[in-house]
A and B are shown apart, each in its own frame.
Chain A
Amino acid sequence: MYQQAKRLYKLALCPVLMLLSLLSTGAWATEGNPQRWQTNMTPGVTEVGAKIYDLHMFVFWVCVVVGIIVFGVMFYSVFAYRKERHEEPATFHENTKLEIAWTVVPFLLLIVMAVPATSTLIEIYDTDDAELDVLITGYQWKWKYEYINPEGDNVSFFSNLLTDKAEIGNTEAKGSNYLIEVDEPLVIPVDTKVRFLVTANDVLHAWWVPALAVKRDAIPGFINEAWTKPTETGVYRGQCAELCGRDHGFMPIVVNVVEEPEYKAWMATKQAEAAEIKKLMAQTFSMDELVERGKGIYNRSCMACHGANGEGGVGKPIANSPIATGEVTAHIDVLVNGVPGSAMQAFGGQLNDVDLAAVVTYTRNAFGNNMGDKVQPIDVYNFKKGQ
C-alpha cells in the first residue's frame, strides 16, 4: 500500500514540478509583449501595471495556500478514510464553532484583499492632470488615433493590420509579430501621463495593451477615459478585446513609446503631412496622378472586400458595376456615406478628399471600366459641403 502511495505521489509531483519550472524560467514574464511559454501576466511598464501585477500575485498566492490546505484535507480523507482502512464511518454531521470559523476566516481574508484592490482602482480612475490627450476610435476593423491639440489642428490617422494575407492563409512564413503589427503605430512620449478618450464608430471594441495596463471598452456614442504613464521606451503590442465581428482577431494595437524629443520630431512630421494634404486639396490633378494614387488607396482600403481585380467578394464587384459606371455624384455618395445595412462603410471620415477623389477616379477607369472622367478633391469637398 505504502509503495503504491509513493508511486502515486511521484506521479502527481511530475506536473507540479513541470509547472514550477515553467514559472521559474523565462516564462515568468518580464517584458511587455507576449513571450513563448509565457505563463503569467506582465507587470508592464507603468506603475499602475506593477500594482495590478502585485495584486494579482497576492490573490494568487492566497488561493494557492488555501488550496493546499483544502485539497490537502480532501485528498488526505480520500486516502486515509478509504473503506478498506476505515470500515466504520464517523457519524458527526455538524459543528457550529467550526462552521462559524470557516465563514469568518474567508471574510477576513477578503477584507485583506479588498484594501489594496480599492486603492489601485482609485488610481486607475484618476484621469486628471494628463499632459496629452489621444482620442481612440474603434472601427470595424481598425483603430483611429487623434491627437487633441489645444492650439491648432488635431493630428489623426488610422492604424491597420500590417500582416500579409498570405501569412494568414499559410502560404508564406509567419513573422514574429504575426497579427500584432500595424502600418502606423500610436506614438506617445515616455514618462508622460497620457489620457485616452475611447469611443467607437460602429460596434463595441475594447482597446487593450497589457504592457500599458489599459483596457477600455470602446462604445459608439459614448466616450470612456483611461490613462497610462509608461516609464520605459519600447514598442508595446495589444489587440482588440471585445468581439466586434468578422475581423475581431485582426485589429491589433501597437504603441511606440519614445523619448520626448523623438515624439516632438514625429509630431512635427505628422503636422507637416497634414499641411501637405491641405495643400493638395486645393490642387487639380491629372488623370495619371489620380489613377496612381487611387490604385494605392484601393489596394489598402478596398481590395479586401472588392477583390484585387474588382471582381467582388464580401463587397459587390466593381468591374462593370452600375455605381462605378454610373453618375459621379452617386458614386461619391456611396464612398462618403457608405451603404447602411451592408458591409460598405462610410469612408468620408476615414479617407481625405484627395484620396477619395483618387479612388473614385481609379475605380471608374480600371477593371475594364472605362468612363474616362476625373474627380478632383474639390468635387469631393463640394459634395460633402452640399449634403
Chain B
Amino acid sequence: MGAHGPAKGLTRWLTTTNHKDIGSMYLWFSFAMFLLGGSFAMIIRAELFQPGLQIVEPEFFNQMTTMHGLVMVFGAIMPAFVGLANWMIPMMIGAPDMALPRMNNWSFWILPPTFLLLASTLFMEGGGPNFGWTFYAPLSTTYAPPSVTFFIFAVHAMGISSIMGSINIIATVVNMRAPGMTYMKMPMFVWTWLITAFLLVAVMPVLAGAVTMMLMDIHFGTSFFSAAGGGDPVLFQHVFWFFGHPEVYIIILPAFGVVSEVIPTFSRKPLFGYASMVYATASIAFLSFIVWAHHMYTVGLPIAGELFFMYATMLIAVPTAAKVFNWITTMFKGSITLETPMLFAIAKVFLFTVGGFSGLMLAIAPADFQYHDSYFVVAHFHYTMVAGAIFALSSAVYYWLPKWTGKMYNETMGKVHFWVSFIGFNLTFFPQHFVGLAGMPRRIPDYNLMFADFNMMSSIGAFIYGSSQLLFLFNIVRTITHGKPVNDDKVWDGATTLEWTVPSPAPYHTFSTPPEVK
C-alpha cells in the first residue's frame, strides 16, 4: 500500500492524521463511553427495580441520571457518528483523506481527557454533577456541588472538539469531492452529515455561552440566572434548548443517513425520493432552530409564544414523515434480504416512528401539561435516541465492518444481538409510556407501589438490552481476530456507493487519484 504505511506502536495512534485511524479511535472511544453510560443506566434501573431505596442514595441517583445522559449524548452517540463520518465520508466522496487532518487528530484527542475529567467528578467532594443532563439553573449554579466547575470545563472542551470536527467535515465535503460528484450525487449519509455539521457549528457556541454564564454566576458574582440579582432562571432554559433542540437532530440526522444507505443496499433498489430526502433533511434542520421552547411549555410562556412553538413543532412531523415514507417506498417492490444491518435499519425506522408519534403527542401543548417531565417523556426520547440513533449505529457497524476489517462478522451472532436488543429495548421503554401517563415523574429514585409492576418490567428489559451489547462487542472483536475474509471487495451485492469500489479491508490510503464519477 502506497509509500506511507501507518507508523508503528503507540505513536501511530497518538500522532496519526489518517482518517481511518482517527475514525477507528472515535468508534472505540464511543463504544467505551456507551458501556460506561450503560452501566450508569444499569444502576438507575437496579434502584428502580422495586419501590424503596435499596442500592444507592438519592444524591448518588441524581448523579447517575445526570452522568448517564451526558456520557451517552456527548460521549457515546455523537463521537460514534463522528467516527463513522471520518471513516466513510472521504471514501464516499472519493477523497484521499479529511481536509484538515491535523485538526482531526486534535479534535479526537481532546475527548479522552475530557471524559476522564468528567468521570472523575464522581469521586470529588460533594459528588459529581447531580442536576440532570439539562443542568437547569439555579440547581446547577447556586445549589451545585463544587465539581460543577470541572463539568463546565468539560463541556467547553467537548464543544471545541465538536466544532473542530464539524468544520473539518464541512471543509472536506465542500472541497474534496471527486470530479463529477455533484452535491446532488452525494450519498445521503454525506448529505445528512453536511447538514449536521452546520447545525453543530451553529449551536455548540450557544452551549458554550450557557456554561460560561453559569461559570460567571458561580465564581464572579454575576446574576444571569438569578432573579435576586436581576437575572432569570428561565433564560437558562431558553439558551440551553436553543442548543438542545438542534442537538437532538445532530444526533438523529446522521442516523437517518445510515439507514438511507442500508435500506437501498438490502432492498437492491435505489433510494426513493433522493431529492426530497435532501430537502426534508434541510427543512428539519431549519425547523430545529425555531421549536426550542416546546421543552418549556410549563414554565409560563405567554400564550402567543406557546402557540407559535406548538405549531412549529407539529410542522416537524411533515418532513420527518416524508423521510419514513421514502424509506418504506424504497423497500416496496425491492428484492429484500434481512442481514443484520437491514434488521437494525428496519427496526430503527419502525421504533423511531413510534418515538415520532409520541413526539407529536408531546407537541400538543395542552396535553403536554400532563406529559411534561413524566416517564412518558423518558419513553419518548429513548425511542428516538436508542432505537433512532443507537440501532442505526449498530446497523452501520455491521454494514461497514467487513469494509473496515476485510472480514465477515458472525451473522447468527449478529441476528441474536438484534433480536435480544429489540426485545430488551421494547420491554424497557414501552412500559415507561404507561407509568408516565399514570403520573410517575422522571428523575425520581423511588416511587409509589402502583408503579411497581411496570418499573420491574422496565428494569428486566434494561438488563437484557444492556447485556446484549456485550454480545455486540464480542462479535466485533471476534470478527477482527477470527473473522472469515470476505469473498468479494463489494461484500453486499446491492451496494452502490464509492467505498465499495476499493478493496476490503480498505487500504490505509484510498483515492490518491480521484475516481471519476459519472
A70 proximity list for chain B (CB < 8 A) = 324-325, 328, 353
Q: Given contacts A117-B310, A117-B364, are A204 and B357 in contact (CB under 8 A)?
A: no
Residue of A nearest to B131 (CB): A243
Are B439 and A81 in contact, CB atoms less than 8 angstroms apart?
no
Cα separation A41 to B362 with both chains bound (whole Å):
13
Residue in A93, A95, A170 with the greatest tally of chain B CB atoms within 10 Å: A93
Q: Given contacts A34-B448, A56-B367, are A110 and B138 in contact (CB under 8 A)?
A: no
Residue of B nearest to A35 (CB): B450
**Residue-by-residue, is B349-387 near A (CB-CB < 8 Å gives 1, otherwise 0)?**
110011001001100111101101110000000000000
Interface residues of A in 159-190 (CB under 8 A from B): 167-170, 174, 176-180
A2 within 8 A of B: no
Partner of A224, one of B300, B315, B324: B300
Are A81 and B448 in contact, CB atoms less than 8 angstroms apart?
no
Cα separation A89 to B336 with both chains bound (whole Å):
8
Cα separation A29 to B350 with both chains bound (whole Å):
28
Minimal beta-carbon separation of A4 from chain B (angstroms): 14
A114 within 8 A of B: yes
Minimal beta-carbon separation of B132 from chain A (angstroms): 5
A239 within 8 A of B: yes
B489 within 8 A of A: no
Q: Given contacts A89-B267, A99-B273, A243-B132, are A39 and B437 in contact (CB under 8 A)?
A: yes
Partner of A73, one of B321, B332, B346, B446: B332
A333 within 8 A of B: no
Partner of B303, one of A81, A125, A244: A125
Are B444 and A248 in contact, CB atoms less than 8 angstroms apart?
yes
Partner of B335, one of A40, A81, A216, A224: A81
A275 within 8 A of B: no
Are B434 and A39 in contact, CB atoms less than 8 angstroms apart?
yes
Are A246 and B62 in contact, CB atoms less than 8 angstroms apart?
yes
Interface residues of A in 189-241 (CB under 8 A from B): 202-204, 206, 208, 210, 213-217, 219-222, 224-225, 238-241
Cα separation A87 to B494 with both chains bound (whole Å):
12
B233 within 8 A of A: yes
B59 within 8 A of A: yes
Are B307 and A121 in contact, CB atoms less than 8 angstroms apart?
yes
Which of B47-55, B94-102, B470-478 interfaces with chain A? B47-55
Are B58 and A246 in contact, CB atoms less than 8 angstroms apart?
yes
B226 proximity list for chain A (CB < 8 A) = 220-221
Are B333 and A94 in contact, CB atoms less than 8 angstroms apart?
no
Minimal beta-carbon separation of A141 from chain B (angstroms): 10
Partner of A179, one of B143, B321, B337, B446: B446
B139 within 8 A of A: yes
Which of A101-109, A265-273, A364-372, A376-384 interfaces with chain B? A101-109
- Other than A94-B272, A106-B318, A215-B369, give 13 A-B pairs with Cβ distance below 8 A: A29-B438, A52-B369, A56-B367, A78-B336, A93-B274, A110-B314, A122-B303, A174-B449, A178-B449, A203-B139, A208-B439, A213-B370, A221-B233
6 nearest A-B residue pairs (beta carbon): A221-B227, A249-B444, A90-B333, A38-B438, A63-B357, A224-B300
12 chain-A/chain-B pairs, Cβ below 8 angstroms = A51-B366, A55-B367, A56-B361, A56-B364, A74-B349, A77-B332, A89-B269, A102-B325, A140-B143, A243-B131, A248-B441, A250-B446
